[in-house]
Amino acid sequence: MDLHGHRVIYRTIGTGPPLVLVHGMVNSSRHWKAVAERLAEEYTVIAPDLLGHGDSAKPEGDYSLGAHAAGIRDLLAALGVDRATMVGHSLGGGVAMQFFYQFPERCQRLILISSGGLGREVSLPLRLAALPGAEPALALVASRWLVAGLERAGEILRTRSAGASGLLRIVARALGSLGEPAARRAFLHTLRSVIGMRGQRVSARDRLYLLAAMPTLIVWGERDRTIPLAHGSRAHAEAPGSRFATIPGSGHFPNLDQPAALAGILREFLQTTTPARLDAGGWSDLLASRRGAAS
């Protein structure tokens, strides 16, 4: 689809209520394939490639969470989808939360998977990549020979250590997407909008009380080394009425290493909750509830 003069790619499968899957940094809609196929019998799954990612355009421009959220709003409007359940992984979790904050009337439920925006801590490689002058180093680690070497190592380890093999293949896939200069520029614009050397720069924790009116599920891999599991458990404690689930043996990418388990958790949540329907009056009431509590 052409939106605002830019090519935007989305993938869709299934029939039923709309379910939007938002990928993480240096990922794409393709990373949702195994989860989407498991949910397609009951839901219309829509998975966009965010601008600067996957097969979508990579223009110079705004790569903030708000810009990504607005882009999803426009994509859904063009598809004739007024309201949907939003699912976000990692960076996509931040985008999904921003979508809810900017367009609450369009959000039916919110599902956050190993989400960014819930604490400062984040892995050292991401913090280093946010440093000024990181472009040449990024070009080196995204070179074809290094990516090919990681892929070969992942294949060699497949029979010896499934976990290490899977991690190497995930890293190779992510670096492979940064082979072109435009892709690297878009990645750095996106990264630096949310992460600095000291960690994550954007936090949604001061607005988690707003989720009192939104069915919310927080999911985390118990072996996540990119964003700490503690971020999820703390957000669950601070988001009224939220549910929290962990996936044993999974790292930062449960959509890749445990898609069946993740799809099962999502399905159970979707089947046992009622979609929210917020309007301007409901939003005002939520804001007033916090002001009243503070006074």
For residues 135-143, give the mean pLDDT.
Answer: 70
| Predicted local confidence at residue 244, as pLDDT | 98
Q: pLDDT tens, 5-21?
A: 999 999 999 999 999 99
CA 48 to chain centre: 11
Q: Would you place residue 22 in the very low, low, confident or very high pLDDT band (cuts 50, 70, 90)?
A: very high
Q: pLDDT tens, 207-263?
A: 999 999 999 999 999 999 999 999 999 999 999 999 999 999 999 999 999 999 999
Strand pairing of 44-48 and 2-3? unpaired
| Predicted local confidence at residue 184, as pLDDT | 85
Residue 288 to residues 280, 281, 291, Cα–Cα distance (Å): 12, 10, 5
Q: pLDDT tens, 63-102?
A: 999 999 999 999 999 999 999 999 999 999 999 999 999 9
Domains of the chain by start residue, with CATH: 2-121+202-294 (3.40.50.1820)
* Torsion angle (degrees, nearest 10) of CA 251, 96, 73, 206: -160
By C-alpha distance, which of 186, 208, 230, 250 is closest to 35? 250
Long-range residue pairs from 163-168, CB within 8 A, at least 24 positions apart, any chain:
163/249, 163/251, 163/257, 166/256, 166/257, 167/251
Q: pLDDT tens, 36-57?
A: 999 999 999 999 999 999 999 9
Q: pLDDT tens, 255-295?
A: 999 999 999 999 999 999 999 998 888 888 888 887 666 55
What is the spatial distance between Cα 201 and Cα 68, in angstroms, rounded to a whole number?
Answer: 17
Higher pLDDT, 287 or 178: 287
Catalytic residues, by residue number, are 90, 224, 252
| Predicted local confidence at residue 10, as pLDDT | 98
